[in-house]
Structure 1
Amino acid sequence: MEANWQREGMTNPMSRPEIVRYAAFTHDPAGGNPAGVVLDASGLDAEAMLAGAAEVGYSETAFVTDSAEGSRRFRVRYFSPLTEVAFCGHATVALAVALAERFGPGEIVLDTPAGEVPVVTRIDDNGAVSATLTSVPTRSRPALAAELEAALKALNWVTGDLDPALPPHVAFGGNDHLILAAGSRERLADLEYDFNSLAEVMRRHDWTTIDLVWRESPDHFHARNPFPVGGVVEDPATGAAAAAFGGYLRTLGLVPRGAKITIRQGEDMGRPSDLRIDVDPQDTRTRVTGQAVRIG
């Protein structure tokens, strides 16, 4: 694996791409979701990027594979330690903040395997950098009975654990996520699932994460995101799932126009994360906002 990363997948084997590390959706390097960022991966093939992501060991690493000189448009690919994914929200925020620190804040456009994702970065008076991404168009549909049964079994949940006011859905915000709403904060906190069984269910249905949520109020949710298909037990912040969740709420008619909704994630892992989503009932895209900070 190291040989692929350092030699076989590189057009210039003498130069090793720099990997920078950021914690996304937090202002604290010890919180949020860590992501790797490679700002120049033009010399890497897919095998080398996968090996690099495995070496980094985070749930996702973003690789900039192409950019036009003088342009603020970048082509990006995302890899977990086990596979490539079409879109990753927290790595997008990390990448955008890394670019803002080097080239200044403003608007950039990312060409991802899921589609075009505009991002706006800002620096506040204290020097903190935040990014707002606009997702690809979202959609959401009720989960099928067989899908729900298999997921609940692997999670060691039962239907009585769910909030009947928030029905199970499969929602898309760049990739698909099964959304299950817990009936209590205690149910959300008690997460012990069958890693291999849940990974098999997710691969069968092509789900990137399971988005487990609990509604504290109409505009404040708590979330947890198992990610066994990426080789990770749980994500402490999942921007792609947050984008899909915005589409879910819009589909169910649970947001007023221009609603700003906060999602607290990672708390049960000791890596608290804060995500904000802006949902417009007339717009299928979700805007996801968060800070990111350099690790080390």
Structure 2
Amino acid sequence: MTPKEYTDTEKRIKRYMKENKINKVLNIQLESTYDLHDVTVHIWNVKTNKGAWWIAEGYRVPMNLYPQDAFYFSVDEVYSFHLGIMQRLQKDEERSKNVLDEIPLDLEQVHEIRRKLTFAADRVHIGMEPEEMQAIGLTCREALIALGIELTKRNPILVAEKELKKADFKGIAYAFIEEYAPDQKNASLRSHARKMVDMAWSYASEIVHSSHKNFPDVKICIIMAATTVSIFENLFMKYLGFDHDPRCPECGSMSIEVYHSKTEGELIEHCTKCEFDHVIKVESIHQKGLNF
């Protein structure tokens, strides 16, 4: 370890201690270094105003702290314990090579956005440097902006009427939530969708501007962005017709068969679940979204 690397690591350790509510570091000393294949683990002895700690960190290794007083670990024991945690995390990573595979998402219709998110997910690995995490946060933010552009293509008039800028993802998203999920029956859905937009955008921005995030934080960022895209694809499907499909007024089932009535100008919606027959006027067909 070069003198500069030593100094930089000391600074990282102090920041890490502050994140763990330990603000005063009295002394930092490198106790031992272990090399295992392509992994290097450093064990540091850190004295603070809140006791003595072992800090384990290194190349492609997550940083973690262990209280010396609680576990009475020796340096070798700290290394072994930390190595076990690291290997378990790596096995989890190997089982799920791409975070997008962990959740079912409807992203097939937005290939460019999926490409961005897949690119971000492929770059996730344990032991990422802060700048790598920030780059992934930036990619997630770019994917959300790309979603806004895709939505604008679908209805440029709506965006123009509201005088929304191209990069105003949240403004565009809010407008299309109102467009795709109108009426009182969708009020709760609109609220949840807006919250998801806020979370995805603000957390991606947080990842971009923070040097203190970690492996799970970045995965969560990608999941939030991908989920937001998926939500809009499903809102779009609702808008295209699912909200207008006939539904039984008695039991709520959508298992409806439509027959001609003996009376001129009427049709019968027959529910195959509860056997209820609902008579509708022909002039209401267009409003209900029925096609013959």
TM range (shorter): under 0.3
Higher Rg of the two aligned structures = 2
- The structure with the largest helix share of the pair is 2
Q: TM-score, normalised by structure 1?
A: 0.22
Structure possessing the higher relative contact order (Cα contacts under 8 Å, 6 or more residues apart): 1
